[in-house]
């Protein structure tokens, strides 16, 4: 059925092209100069530009009204509040510019439509204009960059070892995630793809003393609310990207290289179910790099809970040495 529909569409396109060619040849045979635009045609195009301007902004407003509530729910991390504020400020910057530039674009197309009574003025350059459209965007971008730097530094600066936090390694592989928790020593043991074998799917070095009390989980991982979480990320095959949208966090997982970020979760999974009005809501870890045929299925649930519930859950998980 798909092949038949494709053939029909192609035939319609070919037929349309041939009809246009026939109309063009007919016009030429009658002495019409089809490649010259008359003032009447130019004026018609100018009016169409104004009509399109109205339609264009009408469509934009319609999208905002109908889909404006499809954004992510409230941020569930400390730094995410700042990121959302930065997004709001960015929108206040770019939407007025978007509206003004398009009004000018279509209005000028109408106002300066071709006329035999008017001749275009040669205008090579203007130092004043060059300065304006260079300095103004530069200042705007500087404000946005400085606004975002504080948040960037928060999530990229490693948490001090003497500060209370949870240390988790996220490992991406086609097409699943694994999470490894540092044991009581607070350190992650060595790991390398050369050690991947059997149930050791993330390649932990069993001879490393620091690795023996590490805890590895699949399917879902838990984190405590209002406690800093330090993430270390890597990949065992191709490039992946650890994306946790509700925490406004994303970082590439690169083969042969460790990357990191950290954040403080502020809303439990139970509380977010109430906020969204969805009893089936779950925080989720996704891969945001197209890493292969089953990329769409690469995800892992995240459970945010009280510190007590988290510690109880973690105590129930087996250590690497016990597996």
Neighbour-count burial for 229-246, b at 16+ CB within 10 Å, e otherwise: bbbbbbbbebebbbbbbb
Q: What is the pLDDT of residues 218-245, one digit of tens each?
A: 889 999 999 999 999 999 889 999 999 9
Q: Residues spanned by CATH 2.60.40.420 within the chain?
A: 166-315
Q: How far apart are CA 205 and CA 195, in angstroms?
A: 6
Give the DSSP letter of residue 265.
B
Is residue 321 over pLDDT 70? no
Determine the pLDDT at residue 272: 93
Assigned superfamily of 166-315 = Cupredoxins -  blue copper proteins (2.60.40.420)
Residue 84 contacts residue 248 (beta carbons within 8 Å): yes
Q: Measured between alpha carbons, how far is residue 217 from residues 118, 130, 155, 170, 230 in Å?
A: 74, 57, 24, 10, 17
Q: What is the pLDDT of residues 174-203, one digit of tens each?
A: 889 999 998 888 888 888 888 788 777 888
Is residue 5 over pLDDT 70? yes
Residue 182 contacts residue 217 (beta carbons within 8 Å): no
Determine the pLDDT at residue 267: 94
Kindly calculate the radius of gyration of the chain based on its CA atoms and give it in whole angstroms: 29
Residue predicted with more confidence, 245 or 118: 245
Determine the pLDDT at residue 322: 64
């Amino acid at each position: 059925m798909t092949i038949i529909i494709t053939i029909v569409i192609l035939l319609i396109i070919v037929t349309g092209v041939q009809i246009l060619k026939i109309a063009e040849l007919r016009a030429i045979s009658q002495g019409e100069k089809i490649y010259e635009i008359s003032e009447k045609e130019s004026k018609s195009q100018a009016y169409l530009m104004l009509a399109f301007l109205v339609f264009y902004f009408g469509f934009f407003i319609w999208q905002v009204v109908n889909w404006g509530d499809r954004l992510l729910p409230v941020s569930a991390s400390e730094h995410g509040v700042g990121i959302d504020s930065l997004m709001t400020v960015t929108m206040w910057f770019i939407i007025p510019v978007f509206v003004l530039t398009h009004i000018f674009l279509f209005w000028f197309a109408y106002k300066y439509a071709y006329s035999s009574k008017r001749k275009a003025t040669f205008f090579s350059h203007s130092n004043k204009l060059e300065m304006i459209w260079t300095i103004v965007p530069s200042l705007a971008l500087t404000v946005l960059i400085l606004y975002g730097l504080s948040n960037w530094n928060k999530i990229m600066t490693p948490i001090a070892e003497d500060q209370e936090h949870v240390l988790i390694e996220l490992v991406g592989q086609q097409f699943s995630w694994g999470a490894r928790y540092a044991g009581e020593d607070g350190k992650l043991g060595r790991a390398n793809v050369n050690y991947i074998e059997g149930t050791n799917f993330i390649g932990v070095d069993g001879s490393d003393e620091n690795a023996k009390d590490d805890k590895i989980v699949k399917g879902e991982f838990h984190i405590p609310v209002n406690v800093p979480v330090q993430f270390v990320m890597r990949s065992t095959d191709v490039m992946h990207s650890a994306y946790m949208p509700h925490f406004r966090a994303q970082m590439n997982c690169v083969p042969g290289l460790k990357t990191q970020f950290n954040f403080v979760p502020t809303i439990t999974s139970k509380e977010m179910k109430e906020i969204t009005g969805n009893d089936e809501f779950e925080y989720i870890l996704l891969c945001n790099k197209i890493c292969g045929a089953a990329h769409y299925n690469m995800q892992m649930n995240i459970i945010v809970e009280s510190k007590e519930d988290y510690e109880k859950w973690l105590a129930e998980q087996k250590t690497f040495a016990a597996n």
